[in-house]
């Protein structure tokens, strides 16, 4: 039987993280078991239930033991046996915070810990109140959960860098960021997650429409406000062009209000299943992804949406940001702008919309780039080679 590995995500798993099961379900030498203390309702349809272990369900009352684990690192004995029964080779946590949360489990099970860094926890910084005591932290856990988790990570970041065995960066940019934050360079390997090229293959018979597509969480770092303002200029030149926005997030209401004021033709579709996102990538003429660095220093890793669009031969207009230039090469397979440069964003969108041969050329070269560097099967095999080291 193939050796087991524990894939740790403290809350299994939001809709935006389909890349995790995509990677795990392409293992050829290992079996991945998804482990967390709780789960989203979406987990039942996204993850194989026979290989999903929700620790909070194993001891009563679940809320108490989950809280004890996060505040003190205490692992309930009933959590251990089902994990020990797997005889796992290692624990692989996704995201820096989950690496911190997995540390007590890794210690208790005496297993190597691998942590993949994606974006926020590799790039952001916060000011810590070092005088906070246990009671203040407990109060944050009850009343301000987001702040509690952010501080939990940053308080334990140096310990994570010291105690975890290996760190995987999803781009060279992320590698440089965690080195800057103090991670030993010799512990870091770059492994692009990759795209399932069998699923993301365009149908040449489907005609592309005058649609600019945006896919992503409606948060500051995604740059959707800049896109809406740029699209106002695009529609002055080409009124038939429509902006289609897929995704949801805290800026949803303000972005809808802005679009209503500025745009002639637009749609907010909210969260959509992966199949429908792929269908829109088939129909659209351009994917716009004008990501930016927030005031807190948060940035992307390498957005999967960009790689998916490139696999679908959909040209990308994006920004010189994070790991994006490792995939989108300016004036070769897409266009890159400086962050927040709305005029250039509108200009390059118009250039592609008015030039069918250039769009087709960029689309073909985008697919070639993904096949070369971002093939999910090849990159997952490389990940399994990393597992072999432990």
Give domain limits for the chain: 4-194+375-388, 211-373
Q: Which residues of the chain have pLDDT under 70?
A: 129-142
Percent helix, percent strand, percent coil in the chain, to nearest 5: 50, 15, 35
Q: What is the spatial distance between Cα 231 and Cα 225, in angstroms, rounded to a whole number?
A: 10
Q: What is the DSSP letter of 239?
A: T
pLDDT attached to residue 368:
98
pLDDT attached to residue 48:
96
**Of 254, 226, 266, 256, whose CA–CA distance to 346 is shortest?**
226
- Say what the alpha-carbon torsion angle 362, 363, 364, 366 is, to the nearest 10 degrees: 80
Give the angle 379-380-385 at the CA atoms, nearest 5°: 95
pTM of the model: 0.92
Q: 194: which 2 tokens? A: 């990759």
User: Which residue, chain included where needed, has tokens 């999910």?
Assistant: 376
Q: 179: phi > 0 → left, psi -120 to 50 → alpha, else beta; which? A: alpha
Q: What is the spatial distance between Cα 226 and Cα 346, in angstroms, rounded to a whole number?
A: 10
pLDDT attached to residue 278:
96
pLDDT attached to residue 241:
98
- CB count in 10 Å sphere of residue 254: 12
Q: Which residues 6+ apart lie within 8 Å of 143 measured at CB?
A: none
Same fold, 4-194+375-388 and 211-373: yes
Q: What is the spatial distance between Cα 65 and Cα 58, in angstroms, rounded to a whole number?
A: 10
pLDDT attached to residue 16:
83
pLDDT single digits (tens) 5-23: 999 999 999 888 989 999 9
List, in sequence order, the alpha helices (H) in the chain: 19-24, 43-46, 62-72, 77-84, 96-109, 120-123, 134-143, 145-163, 172-180, 224-237, 252-262, 274-283, 304-311, 342-353, 356-373, 376-388
pLDDT single digits (tens) 219-252: 999 999 999 999 999 999 999 999 999 999 999 9
Q: What is the spatial distance between Cα 77 and Cα 253, in angstroms, rounded to a whole number?
A: 45
pLDDT single digits (tens) 173-232: 999 999 999 999 999 999 999 999 999 999 999 999 999 999 999 999 999 999 999 999
pLDDT attached to residue 136:
65
**Of 207, 202, 173, 205, whose CA–CA distance to 190 is shortest?**
173
Q: How far is CA 318 from CA 30, 221, 277, 325, 362, in A?
A: 36, 12, 18, 9, 13
CATH assignment of 4-194+375-388, given 3.40.50.2000, 3.40.50.2300, 3.40.50.620, 3.40.1640.10?
Answer: 3.40.50.2000
pLDDT attached to residue 130:
66
- Say what the alpha-carbon torsion angle 365, 238, 249, 202 is, to the nearest 10 degrees: -30
User: Which residue, chain included where needed, has tokens 């964003």?
Assistant: 345
Q: What is the spatial distance between Cα 89 and Cα 3, in angstroms, rounded to a whole number?
A: 7
- Fold of domain 211-373: Rossmann fold (3.40.50)
pLDDT attached to residue 131:
63
């Amino acid at each position: 039987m193939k050796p087991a590995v524990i894939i740790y995500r403290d809350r299994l798993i939001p809709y935006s993280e389909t890349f995790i099961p995509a990677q795990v379900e392409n293992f050829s030498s290992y079996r991945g078991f998804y482990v967390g203390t709780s789960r989203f309702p979406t987990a039942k349809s996204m993850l194989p239930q026979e290989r999903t272990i929700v620790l909070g369900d194993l001891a009563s009352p679940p809320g108490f033991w989950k809280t004890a684990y996060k505040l003190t690192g205490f692992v309930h004995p009933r959590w251990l046996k089902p994990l020990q029964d797997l005889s796992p080779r290692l624990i692989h946590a996704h995201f820096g915070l989950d690496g911190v949360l997995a540390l007590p489990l890794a210690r208790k099970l005496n297993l190597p810990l691998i942590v993949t860094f994606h974006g926020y926890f590799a790039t952001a910084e916060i000011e810590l109140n070092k005088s906070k005591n246990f009671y203040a932290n407990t109060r944050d856990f009850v009343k301000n959960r987001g702040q509690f988790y952010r501080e939990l990570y940053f308080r334990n970041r140096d310990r994570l860098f010291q105690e975890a065995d290996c760190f995987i960066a999803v781009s060279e940019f992320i590698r440089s960021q965690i080195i800057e934050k103090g991670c030993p360079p010799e512990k870091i390997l770059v492994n692009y997650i990759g795209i399932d090229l069998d699923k993301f293959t365009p149908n040449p018979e489907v005609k592309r429409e005058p649609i600019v597509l945006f896919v992503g969480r409606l948060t500051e770092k995604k740059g959707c406000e800049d896109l809406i303002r740029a699209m106002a200029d695009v529609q002055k030149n080409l009124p038939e062009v429509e902006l289609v926005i897929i995704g949801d997030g805290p800026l949803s209401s303000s972005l809808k209000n802005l679009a209503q004021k500025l745009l002639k033709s637009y749609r907010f579709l909210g969260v959509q299943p992966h199949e429908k996102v792929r269908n829109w990538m088939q129909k659209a003429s351009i994917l716009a992804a004008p990501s930016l660095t927030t005031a807190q220093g948060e940035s992307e890793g390498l957005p999967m949406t960009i790689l998916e669009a490139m696999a679908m031969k959909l040209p990308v207009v994006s920004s010189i940001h994070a790991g994006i230039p490792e995939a989108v090469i300016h004036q070769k397979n897409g266009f890159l702008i400086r962050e927040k440069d709305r005029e250039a964003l509108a200009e390059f969108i118009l250039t592609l919309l008015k030039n069918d041969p250039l769009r087709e050329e960029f689309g073909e070269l985008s697919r070639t780039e993904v096949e070369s560097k971002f093939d999910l099967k090849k990159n997952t095999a490389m990940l399994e080679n990393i597992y072999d080291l432990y």
